[in-house]
Every structure is written in C-alpha cells, then in structure tokens.
Amino acid sequence: GKPYAVYGYGAQIAELEVDLKLGTVRLIKITAAHDVGKAINPLLVEGQIEGGIAQGIGMALMEEYIPGRTENLHDYLIPTIGDVPPIETILIEVPDPEGPFGAKGLGEHVLIPTAPAILN
C-alpha cells in the first residue's frame, strides 16, 4: 500500500559566494521548483516556499543548540529578512487526483532541499 496519499517533490539551487579566508558564506539567490499539485492560492504557495527556504538557511548556516548554553533567541540564531536572498519560485502544477481540489501539501518538504543546495 501507500503510506501517504500524496507525495511532494521539489528541487532547489543556491547561488552563493564563499570567502575562504574568513570562512563566511553570502547567499546571492535561491531558485526553488516544487510540485504543488494545483496551486489554489499561488501567492500563499510562494510564501510557504519562501518560509521553508528561510528555515533551511537557518538549518544550514546559523542554528546551533548547545545544551545548557543556548537558552534564548539571543544565543540561538535564526534567519531574519537580511539573511534571506532573493528567491525565485517555480510552481509545477499537476493536479493530484487524491488531493483536495487537486492540491498537495507543501509544509516540510520545501525546507528539506535548502541545506543540501547550499552545501553542494
């Protein structure tokens, strides 16, 4: 059987600059293509993708929890708008017969490819 009614697919490419002397990374642009089924509200779909990418940037470059030391958001860094580069979203719309009105869920799977795209 199928453990899930609908599967989500996506790919991302990160353009960035690396300063080898300082050991820093500057993101220039991220392009994200995701199969969304039928985009019932395309603006909200793009916002979901952008939010997932912001979370993925945090996972890849900023967030670190140290037990006993990381106690607040001053110590546990998360991305802000200044850390997120321009994002190009490509919505791949193939209505899914099992999704509501042909839509697919777009939660977790948009943040998964961000860190590998940056690290690649």
What ranges do the domains of the chain cover? 9-119
Q: How much is the mean pLDDT over the chain?
A: 91
pLDDT at 2 over 90: no
Please give the pLDDT value at position 80.
92
SS3 content of the chain, % helix, strand, coil (to 5): 30, 25, 45
pLDDT at 69 over 90: no
With CA atoms as reference, report the closest residue to 99 among 6, 8, 7: 6
Please give the pLDDT value at position 14.
98
Task: Write out pLDDT tens, residues 70-109.
Answer: 888 788 889 999 999 999 999 999 999 888 899 988 888 8
Percent of the chain predicted with pLDDT > 70: 96
Let me know if 64 is a catalytic residue. Answer: no
Q: How many CA atoms lie within 13 A of 38 on its CB side?
A: 10
- Active-site residue (options: 71, 88, 98, 108): 108
Inter-CA distances, 26 with 32, 86, 118, Å: 18, 12, 10
Distance CA 120, CA 116 (A): 6
1: confidence class by pLDDT, cuts 50, 70, 90: low
Which of 25-34, 58-67, 69-78 tops mean pLDDT?
25-34
Distance CA 8, CA 69 (A): 37
Query: Is CATH 3.40.190.10 the right assignment for the domain spanning 9-119?
Result: no
